[in-house]
Amino acid sequence: MNKKRIAAGALAFVLVFGIGAPVLEQTGVLTSDFSVSAADADVKVGWKPTRYYQDAEGNYTFQYVQAGYMQIISLDNDELTEFEVPSEITDEKSGLTFPVEVIYKEAFQGKKNLKKVTIPSTVNRIGVNAFSNCTALEEVVGMEGVTTISDDAFVSCESLKTITLPQGLTNLGNEAFSHCSALTELTIPGSVTLMGSYVASGCPELKSITFEEGITNIPSFFAYLDSNLEKVSIPSTCKSIGMGAFSYSGLVAIEIPDNVTRVDNEVFNNCKRLTSVKLSSGCDIVNMNTFSDCSALEEVIIPDSIKIISNTAFSFCTA
């Protein structure tokens, strides 16, 4: 039995010439009969990693990844209002069972009737645009094992009011929850180490955001245009707040913890309801347009650590 090691170049050759569909994380040793591993060399897997397969009911399409897991490629039944992602799929030929670990990019995109989805603990990654424009989606259950929520994963889920992010989450992509117009609250677990921009921007009903202890950075434009945002909890572990993070939001008061050493430009720009601010004693500068056009701002507590105040930091603060 001839063994062939799959390399990126070889895989690219296969895809360019139309032999198979795109594959994630194709690694390891592949025999001509698609054996699972050396330990199971006598058991042949019926699935081929370069092909897509459908479940018996025709509800979804899946793919076997040679690293030893499955990924959900698409939801095929447009009439479903509820869907439970399987935790595992069994190969009928070999009898081997593999965990479902990935919800592939755009897998549920635009499913207008879907109201509830249950994601098992085996899933660790939700792909780009996986649930984008699921306008009826109200409830996401599970996700305990998810470590990565990719860019635009839940963008424009207009009926989603709440979502519980898992404590093991480490990566949260750009615009993951942007334009979720019914979302009312959001808690970012302290386990998150990498966040993109505009994560929860354009969410007009979002009233409360909690960044748990452990978060070190609030990225740029995180809650941009969240017009009814009333409360933001910033942890003592936070070191920096990115450009425009809360600009054009509905914040009334904000207290920046003293561990914060950097507040970028325009962070609270155009917060028309903002009346009081306490700056961090860890900062030495108030940057450009940080509070510009905050027309209701009446009280600012400036610590002795502040050495430089930009000439536009408080421009058009008419109160």
Can you give the pLDDT at residue 53? 96
The residue whose two tokens read 């698609």 is 34
Mean pLDDT of 201-209: 98
Question: What pLDDT, on the 0 to 100 scale, is given for residue 195?
Answer: 98
Q: Strand pairing partners for 69?
A: 65
Give the model's confidence band at 229: pLDDT under 50 very low, under 70 low, under 90 confident, else very high. Answer: very high
Over the stretch 106-160, which tens digit does the pLDDT of each residue have?
999 999 999 999 999 999 999 999 999 999 999 999 999 999 999 999 999 999 9
Which DSSP string corresponds to 50-91? TS-EE-TTSSEEEEEETTTEEEEEEE--TT-SEEE--SEEE-
Structure tokens at 119: 């994601």
**Which tokens is 261 given?**
């050493």
> What is the distance between the alpha carbons of residues 143 and 118, in angstroms, rounded to a whole number?
8
CA atoms of 139 and 204, how far apart (whole Å): 19
Instruction: Kindly report the average pLDDT of the chain as a whole number.
Output: 89
Question: What topology does CATH give the domain 50-169?
Answer: 3.80.10
- Which helix or strand (DSSP H or E) is residue 8 part of? helix 8-16
- Going from N- to C-terminal start, the domains of the chain cover 50-169
43 falls in which pLDDT band (50, 70, 90)? low
How is residue 17 written in tokens? 């010439």
Confidence band, pLDDT 50/70/90 cuts, at residue 62: very high
Sign of the CA dihedral running 16, 67, 76, 142: negative
Does the pLDDT at position 189 exceed 90?
yes
pLDDT the model gives residue 279: 97
Asked if residue 212 has pLDDT above 80, the reply is yes
For residues 73-80, give the mean pLDDT: 98
